[in-house]
Amino acid sequence: MSAVIESDHHDHHHGPAKGLMRWVLTTNHKDIGSMYLWFSFIMFLIGGTMALIIRAELFEPGMQIVKPEFFNQMTTMHGLIMVFGAVMPAFVGLANWLIPMMVGAPDMALPRMNNWSFWILPFAFGLLLSTLFMDGGGPNFGWTFYAPLSTTYAPPSVTFFIFAVHMMGVSSIMGAINVIATILNLRAPGMTYMKMPLFVWTWLITAFLLIAVMPVLAGVVTMMLMDIHFGTSFFNAEGGGDPVLFQHVFWFFGHPEVYIMILPAFGIASAIIPTFSRKPLFGYPSMVYATASIAILSFIVWAHHMFTVGLPLAGELFFMYATMLIAVPTGVKIFNWVATMFRGSLTFETPMLFSIAFVILFTIGGFSGLMLAIAPVDFQYHDTYFVVAHFHYVLVPGAIFSIFAAAYFWLPKWTGHMYNETLGKVHFWMSFIGLNLTFFPMHFVGLAGMPRRIPDYALQFADFNQISSVGAFIFGTTQLLFLFIVIQCIRGGKKASAQVWEGADGLEWTLPSPAPYHSFAQPPVIK
C-alpha cells in the first residue's frame, strides 16, 4: 500500500489537465478507457435505435414505416455499429481501465499510441454514419457485405464505408499491440503468466486474434476498392474473378472476430462469478487452455458460414467436424463456472445477476450454434431468423451482458461510489425479460421458414414478430436507465471501500476507490 500512498502524492503534480484538452491530449489509461466506454455507449444507443426502426417495420406484415432500401441500410448499419462501434470499443475501454490495475502497472505500455487509437474512432464512425446522408444512401449490403452486391451493385457511398473500416482496423490493431506490450512487459515482479487474472489472459489472446485478422479485413475491403475503382476483378465473375473468394477471406476474418467479441466476456465472468460465490475460480489452468484452444480453433472453422455456397463434400465435412469441436473447450468453461458456484456462498448483486444470465443465455446460444454446425441441417437453418436468434443470444447476453456486469462490478472502483443496487436490479430484470421476448421467438420463425434481412414477411410469421418487436422496445428503453444509474454513480452515492466486494480478489482491489490517476507508480508486492 505504500506504493499507492506515494502515487497519491504524485497526483498533486501530475493529475489530469483541466478542460477539454484533458480529453484530447490525454495519455492516461483511465481517461482513455472512459472515453472508449462512453463512445461505445453512444454507439450502442445509435445502433440500438436502428434496431428499433427495424423492429418497428417488422411489427406487422406490409411496408409501413420505411422503404425496403432504407430497411437494408438499417440492418447493415445496425450490425456494423454494434460489432465495431459498441462491443469492440467497450472491451478495449475495459482493457484500458483494468489491465494496468490488474497486472500492477502504472499505465498502458504505449500511452501516446493509446490516445491515437481512441481518437481515430469518432472520425471512422462519423464517416460511416455520414454515408446515410449521401446520394444513393449508406451501405445496404448487410454487415457481411458480400460481393458483388457490395462492389458492382453497391451505392457510391461504399468507398466511404471502406475507408471507415480501414480506420477502425488501424485503431483495433494499435489497441491490440498496446494490450500485448502492456501484458508482456509491465507485469509487476512476481505476476507470472499463470497468476494473471483471466480477464488479462483472455484479452492477451484476443489481442493476438485482432492482430492476426484485422489485416485480413483490411485486405478484403482493399480488394473491393480495387474492383470498384481500378477495374480489377477479384470478386467479379465476368472478369474471371470469384464472388466466393470474398466470403472465404471475409469469414477468415469474421470467425475469429466473433471470438474477439466473446473471449474478454469470458474473462469478466471469470472475475465476477468467484467474487459473489466467495470461492476461487474452479479450474483456472483449464480456463486458460480452453481460451487458447477456442482461439486456435477459430482459424479453421470459417467456412461453416458458407455451407450453402457449394463447397465440396470433403470441405463440408472438415468444417462441420472442426466447428463441432469448439463445443468441447466452450463446454469446459461453462462447467468450470458452474463448479465455481457449486457449494459457494452466493449473493446476487447486479454484476452477479448479469453474469449468471450470461452463462445461461450464452449456453443457449451455444446450443443453437452446435445445431448450426451440423452441415446437412444447416441447409435448413442458414440465413433464417434461427441464425439471427443464435448470434443475438451469444452477442447480447454474451458480450453486452458481460459489459454491463463489468461496469457494475468495477464502477465503485472507478468512481469511488456505489451505484444504486435497486435500480441496477431493475435494469437487469427489464433487460433480461426484454431480451428473451425479442430473441427467443426468432428461433421459432426461423425454423418455420422466415429468411433474415427481409423488410416484409408472409402472414404466418406475424404473431412471433409482434412479440419480438415489443421485447425490443422494452430492452431498448431500459438502457436509458443504465445511463441514469451510471451518471448517478459518478455524481455521488455511498462511498466505496478499497475492497468494494466482500469476495473480491485481485490487485485492483488493493488500490483505493476511486483508483488514483496513475495506478501503480511503484510495483506492488505479489503474494
Partner 1 sequence: MKPSKLLRLPAVLACLGVASAHAAWQTNLTPGVTEVGESVYQLHMIIFWICVAIGVVVFGVMFWSIINHRKSKGAKPAQFHESTTVEILWTIIPFVILIAMAVPATGTLIKMYDASDAAVDIKVTGYQWKWKYDYLNEEVGFFSNLSTSQDQIYNRDEKGENYLLEVDEPLVIPVGKKVRFLVTANDVIHSWWVPDLAVKRDAIPGFVNEAWTQAEKVGVYRGQCAELCGKDHGFMPIVVKVVSEPEYKEWVLAKQEVARQEYELKNKEWTLDELMTRGEKTYGTYCAGCHQPDGAGLPPAFPALKGSQIAKGPIESHADIVLHGKAGTAMQAFASQLNEVDIAAVVTYERNAWGNSMGDMLTPQQVAAMKNK
Residues 57-116 that bind partner 1 (CB under 8 A): 61-64, 67-69, 72
Query: What is the secondary structure of 468-492 as a DSSP string?
Result: HHHHHHHHHHHHHHHHHHHHHHHH-
Our answer to whether residue 259 is catalytic in this structure is: yes
Hey, what's the cell of 90?
467497450
CA angle 89, 164, 136 (to 5 degrees): 125
To the nearest 10 degrees (0 to 180), the angle between helices 313-325 and 350-373 is 160
Cell of 151: 462492389
138 in contact with partner 1 (CB under 8 A): no
Q: How far apart are the first and last CA of the chain?
A: 13
146 is catalytic: no
By CB under 8 A, what part of segment 19-48 binds partner 1?
none
Does position 462 interact with partner 1 (CB under 8 A)? The reply is yes
Does position 506 interact with partner 1 (CB under 8 A)? The reply is: no
Asked if residue 182 lies in contact with residue 105, where contact means CB atoms within 8 angstroms, the answer is yes
Q: Which residue has the cell 467479441?
A: 261
Q: Which residues contact 249 (CB under 8 A, 6 or more apart)?
A: 216, 219, 220, 223
Contacts of residue 13, defined as CB under 8 A and 6 or more positions apart, other chains included, come to none
| Alpha-carbon gap, residue 142 to 149, rounded angstroms | 9
Cβ-based nearer residue to partner 1, 91 or 381: 381
Give Cα 506 to chain centroid, integer Å.
24
Determine whether 255 is an active site residue. yes
Stretch that binds partner 1, among 79-87, 202-210, 364-372, 513-521 (CB under 8 A): 364-372
- Residue of 282, 354, 408, 509 interacting with partner 1 (CB under 8 A): 282
Residue 71 to residue 68: CA distance in whole angstroms: 5
C-beta of 426: minimal distance to partner 1 in Å?
Answer: 18
**Helices 284-297 and 243-260: crossing angle, nearest 10°?**
170
- Write down the catalytic residue from 75, 157, 270, 468: 270
Return the number of the residue (16 or 156) whose C-beta is nearest partner 1. 156
For partner 1, the binding residues in 240-269 under the rule CB under 8 A are 241-244
We find the least distance from the C-beta atom of residue 201 to partner 1, in angstroms, to be 16
Q: Which of 29, 30, 166, 255 is catalytic?
A: 255
List 80, 162, 361, 389, residue binding partner 1 (CB under 8 A):
361
For partner 1, which stretch binds (CB under 8 A), given 8-16, 100-108, 175-183, 315-323?
315-323
* 3-state class (DSSP) for residue 522: coil
Q: Are 494 and 418 in contact (CB under 8 A)?
A: yes
Rounded CA-CA distance 9/114 in Å is 25
Does residue 309 touch partner 1 according to CB under 8 A? Answer: yes
Restricted to residues 145-174, the positions that interact with partner 1 (CB under 8 A) are 146, 148-149, 152-153, 155
Does 345 help bind partner 1 (rule: CB under 8 A)? yes
Please list every residue from 379 through 438 that binds partner 1, using CB under 8 A.
379-380, 382-384, 436
Phi-psi category of 122—alpha, beta or left, where left has phi over 0 and alpha has psi -120 to 50? alpha
In the complex, what is the shortest distance from the CB of residue 432 to partner 1, in angstroms, rounded to a whole number? 8
- Pick the binder of partner 1 from 5, 65, 184, 328 (CB under 8 A): 328
Which of 23, 116, 119, 143 does the annotation list as catalytic?
A: 143
- Which of residues 355 and 513 has its CB atom nearest to partner 1 in the complex? 355
Instruction: In angstroms, give the least distance from the CB of 309 to partner 1.
Output: 5
| Residue found by looking up cell 428503453 in the block | 477
Report the largest interatomic distance among the alpha carbons of the chain, rounded to a whole angstrom: 71
Map residue 495 onto helix, strand or coil. Answer: strand
Site size toward partner 1 (CB under 8 A) is 100
- Whether 323 is catalytic: no
| CB burial readout 354-369, b (16+ within 10 A) else e | bbbbbbebbbbbbebb
Nearby residues of 319 by Cβ (< 8 Å), 6 or more positions away: 300, 301, 302, 303, 304, 307, 311, 375
Whether residue 304 lies in the annotated active site: yes
CA distance 154 to 507: 51
193 binds partner 1, rule: CB under 8 A: no
Cβ atoms within 10 Å, residue 258: 19
88-103 and 263-277 are packed helices; what angle lies between their axes, rounded to 10 degrees? 50
CB of residue 216 vs partner 1: minimum separation in angstroms? 20
Is residue 231 within the footprint of partner 1 (CB under 8 A)? no
Which residue out of 117, 171, 206, 469 is catalytically annotated?
171
Which one of 118-126, 254-262, 284-292, 512-520 is the stretch in contact with partner 1 (CB under 8 A)? 284-292
Under the binding rule (CB under 8 A), the answer on residue 56 touching partner 1 is no
Q: Which part of the chain contacts partner 1 (CB under 8 A), choosing from 130-138, 185-193, 198-206, 483-491?
A: 130-138
Q: In this chain, which of 341, 388, 442, 500 binds partner 1, going by CB under 8 A?
A: 341
Question: Which one is catalytic: 36, 97, 201, 259?
Answer: 259
Q: Quick one: which of 362, 457, 509, 517 contacts partner 1 (CB under 8 A)?
A: 457
By beta-carbon proximity to partner 1, the closer residue of 433 and 490 is: 433
Q: Nearest distance from residue 68's CB to partner 1, in Å?
A: 5
CA atoms of 398 and 352, how far apart (whole Å): 14
Residue 421 falls in the annotated catalytic set: no
**Active site residue ranges:** 78, 107, 143, 171-172, 255, 257, 259, 270, 304-305, 330, 333, 452
